Amino acid sequence: MSEYKSEYRKKLRELTESKAYTVTLESEIQKLYKKAIEFDLDLKHQQEIEELRAKTTGLNIEFIRDYLCSDKNAASVNMSGVVIGIQGDGPWGVIEFQKFLNQKDFNVVNITDPGVRYIVLGSHNVDDEELNQQIATSIEEGFDLRIYSQELFVAWLITGVNPLEEWLEKDLLESVREHESLQYVIDSTQFPWPQLVDHASMKRSYEVKTFEWDGSLSEESPLRKMGYSVQAGALSIQERRAILRQAYTSSGLNKFLYSSHDLERWGQPNTAQRLYAMSSLITWLANFQGPTKPAAREKWISDLRWLKESFYDSKMKFWPVR
């Protein structure tokens, strides 16, 4: 009887060890499988990058691009401090393109970052789900979203002319005819690419309706609600300018306009009325609060100067006097 028990214990021990070994093997197999998949994906991506480089010719060659942009940076196109989302490869690999933009002082993030209002897409390898998410957010929250191909964005950097504002629609569409990612945007999403600036509407908006600021209006202003502040340690100059740019060029400020009177006072994006409201508010702050806050006044005056240099058109025929 003891012989059977001994044999039983032996087999039970072997079975237990076998189960433990099986669990270990399964764990190792899962790890190896994951690594194999990752290796295959990395290899596939690397092969695609190499193929991309082999096909990249003419002005898309990195050396030529870098030469043409040698004296250009984010400040050249008034984009200092503005968040830019990038994704996808083509004509340049996304890692190389991000490095290029970082060297030009652009603030580069993923396209799903909450602060993204500008997106630059490679021709392929774009995550459709993430792109759709940002497009849906822009529609739900009512802010303007600008989507560029890598080539269009670099053309803007080289020339200083924003294609989405200055090019004809037919030329924009022709420029992305073989751009897989932007064709997806055009054909498969609710996004109306290209979103062009309505110059005719802008020409009709040079006249402004003036009004007087007071303490209560300034304290509750949409500009303040968007986060604009000159308090010590609150925002960097780049962050202030980014908020001012967004307030003027996008509809993000509109969600703080609660009445028809508010809308009349602040106007629509990219109009003289919007610029008048912003500049007159900052002028009022500089004049009435500035004498007791010299550091703040210096920032307000600096921001006024930047607003005028960036957005003022002489046809608007106004600018507040300090």
Give me the pLDDT at residue 59, please: 65
* 181 and 255 inside one domain: no
* 207 and 308 inside one domain: yes
Domain assignment present for 322: no
Domain assignment present for 321: no
148, 177, 196: which is the final residue of a domain?
Answer: 196
* 149 and 31 inside one domain: no
Tokens 């008034």, residue? 78
* 15 and 123 inside one domain: no
Give me the pLDDT at residue 202, please: 46
* 268 and 230 inside one domain: yes
Give me the pLDDT at residue 119, please: 95
* 211 and 162 inside one domain: no
Question: How many CB atoms are located within 10 Å of the residue 319 CB?
Answer: 16
Give me the pLDDT at residue 58, please: 59
139, 165, 196: which is the final residue of a domain?
Answer: 196
User: Torsion over CA of 30, 34, 35 and 40, rounded to 10 degrees?
Assistant: 140
Assign residue 109 the CATH number of its domain: 3.40.50
Please answer whether residues 270 and 249 qualify as being in contact, where contact means their C-beta atoms are separated by less than 8 angstroms. yes
* 230 and 163 inside one domain: no
* 40 and 80 inside one domain: no
Domain assignment present for 76: yes
Q: What is the pTM of this model?
A: 0.52
Domain assignment present for 231: yes
Question: How many CB atoms are located within 10 Å of the residue 83 CB?
Answer: 17
Domain assignment present for 32: yes
* 76 and 27 inside one domain: no
Q: At what angle do helices 272-288 and 237-249 cross, to 10 degrees?
A: 140
Give me the pLDDT at residue 203, please: 47
The boundaries of the domain holding residue 49 are 2-55
Number of domains within the chain: 3
Residues comprising the chain, all counted: 322
Tokens 């402004």, residue? 208
Domain assignment present for 125: yes
Please answer whether residues 114 and 143 qualify as being in contact, where contact means their C-beta atoms are separated by less than 8 angstroms. no
* 50 and 72 inside one domain: no
Extract the residue ranges of the chain whose pLDDT is less than 50.
197, 199-203
39, 55, 71: which is the final residue of a domain?
Answer: 55
Domain assignment present for 87: yes
Q: What's the CA gap between 241 and 152, in Å, rounded?
A: 24
* 146 and 33 inside one domain: no
* 206 and 122 inside one domain: no
